[in-house]
Amino acid sequence: MKRWWLLLVLFSGALLADDCALRGTGDLAIVIERADGAVQIVETTHNTAIARVEGLGDLSHASVVYSRDGRYAYVFGRDGGLSKVDLLCARVEKRVIQSGNSIGGAISQDGRLIAVSNYTPGGVKVFDADSLELLADIPATWGNGLRSKVIGLVDAPGRRFVFSLWDAGEIWVADMQDPRHPRITRFRDIGRNPYDGLITPDGRYYIAGLFGEDGMAQLDLWHPERGVRRILDHYGRGEKKLPVYKMPHLEGWAVAGDRAFVPAVGLHAVLVIDLRDWRELARIPVHGQPVFVEARPDGREVWVNFAFPNNEKVQIIDVETLKVTHTLEPGKGVLHMEFEPRGEEVWISVRDRDRVQVYDTATHRLLRELPARKPSGIFMAARAHRIGL
Amino acid sequence: MWRRIGIVASSLAVSAALAQSAAPSAQRQAELESMLLQDCGSCHGLTLKGGLGPALRPQALAGKPRQWLIDTIRDGRPGTAMPPWGPILSDADIAWLADRLLRGAPGKEVKR
């Protein structure tokens, strides 16, 4: 009943408001302007800014997921704010402050649920995607009544969410068949301080990177009964690690053929995993400690950006030779890179220069620069149709 | 490897070396302020209200000795995610950061 009423209001609102665009959203993207609590809506066909939406709170470390119709962006802010932004009308449709300090979110396979992972109080909250009504609260309790910070939250097939507990060193799978009564499966002792997690594009493997020890924790969601297994547990052993000034991110899965590329923690290196046996195949020396390691959608190249104090460059790895073939210098504070869905262009945010840049990925030439205030994450609406994003 | 970081972090390291003993110049202070919010902020929150690391606002740090903050920033906390900043910041930079944390946002009165 309530939903009908809501739809009606939305619909008539859209008809009445003449500032709402009549267009598709498949080529739209959101650029987070993190200091201002605002987002820009840009279109990636002609590479222009369309609109700016303000009032989204503290957007440091903000991330975005999209409704399956591509119309709404759910923006997760640091201050616990969850905002539903209408891309066509360029306005905040709804907004709730759901915790004190949050870190990211996910949308369920069927698009009906939004999950948010929180630092304080540590746990996951699940909301109705239409109304943002709270459906379930999953406190990340461990030890003696402690609450753990939650990171690496993703959606998985079968209406599940998977996430990791930074303090507890656990992976949890929440089955949301009944959204008000999630069924939790806990995997303990997966390793110290998981810092982020990803799910492979087919939704089969969940992988958490470990900060507190070497290697990564891998869970096969086809066979959760086999438990969590350690992969890459030899990298870094006996080596002197550098101080880590920024946590790396695992977002999506940089896969080319049967190789995957991941950031090494505390090393100036990208690790190459052989997906046939999940072993380290090679280690590619790069300019700094990698933050994002992203495959161009055709899998021919892998692009890497770096942690402070090496965050002025982007390097491009050729996946056949496993060597760095190009180094770009966008400027200080390169925070994020996002490929257009078919990969012909890539968007890069350059925080300290207050710009986002668009590069041609065939020539590696800068095509365009758009002003943006302290830009961080860039999120294409095409994420709407991908598992784990 | 440590030396290499120093070289790569050129702009910071060079200005840090120049400002070794004296208080940081006005320009350096502006750089440190921006670094505090952006780079420390990536773990402690852009508004220093806390994230992966704890809140660093004056209320949260009340009662903690200045030297203890300086040591934490310089040497980090082994076994946690707090990295040592000694390799890329001068003593003067670090002391300025500690004072800035105790004092709160710029423009507010120093009370030490």
- Of residues B33, B58, B57, B53, the one with CA closest to residue B43: B53
Nearest Cα of chain A lies from the Cα of B10 at a distance, in angstroms, of: 9
pLDDT number for residue A214 = 85
- Of residues A269, A268, A271, the one with CA closest to residue A254: A271
Contact B49/A79, CB-based, under 8 Å? yes
Res A16 pLDDT > 60:
no
A247 touches chain B (CB under 8 A): yes
Distance of CA A304 to the CA centre of its chain: 15
B40, B49 contact by CB (below 8 A): no
Res A319 pLDDT > 90:
yes
Distance of CA A215 to the CA centre of its chain: 20
Taking only the tens place, the pLDDT of each residue in A115-174 is 999 998 899 999 999 999 999 999 999 988 899 999 999 999 999 999 999 999 999 999
Domains and CATH numbers, chain B: 25-103 (1.10.760.10)
Res A15 pLDDT > 80:
no
Q: Which residues of B touch A242 (CB under 8 A)?
A: 1, 5
In sequence order, which residues have a C-beta less than 8 Å from that of residue A354 and are 6 or more positions away? A371, A372, A373, A374, A375
Helix (H) or strand (E) holding A74: strand A72-76
A305 token code pair: 């950006």
pLDDT number for residue B12 = 44
| Local confidence band at A38 (pLDDT 50, 70, 90 cut-offs) | very high
User: With 0-12 CB in 10 A as exposed, 13-18 as middle and 19+ as buried, what is A30?
Assistant: buried
pLDDT number for residue A230 = 93
Q: What is the mean pLDDT of residues A224-240?
A: 81
Q: What is the mean pLDDT of residues A217-246?
A: 85
Taking only the tens place, the pLDDT of each residue in A176-196 is 999 999 999 999 999 999 999
For chain B, helix (H) and strand (E) counts, in that order, are 7, 0
**Candidates B34, B35, B42, B89, partner chain A, best to mutate (most A CBs within 10 A):** B42
A–B CB contacts, 8 A cutoff, strictly below:
68
Q: Which residues of B touch A373 (CB under 8 A)?
A: none
Percent of chain A, pLDDT > 70?
94
A374, A35 contact by CB (below 8 A): yes
Task: Answer with the residue of higher pLDDT: B98 or B13.
Answer: B98
Q: Which residues of A touch B34 (CB under 8 A)?
A: 352
Shortest CA distance from A374: residue in chain B: B38
pLDDT number for residue A324 = 98
pLDDT number for residue A3 = 54
Contact A333/B38, CB-based, under 8 Å? yes
Res B20 pLDDT > 50:
no
Quick one: A98-233 is in which CATH superfamily? Answer: YVTN repeat-like/Quinoprotein amine dehydrogenase (2.130.10.10)
Entry pTM: 0.88
| Local confidence band at A236 (pLDDT 50, 70, 90 cut-offs) | low
Q: Which residues of B touch A120 (CB under 8 A)?
A: 50
Q: What is the mean pLDDT of residues B34-46?
A: 89
ipTM: 0.80
Nearest Cα of chain B lies from the Cα of A211 at a distance, in angstroms, of: 8
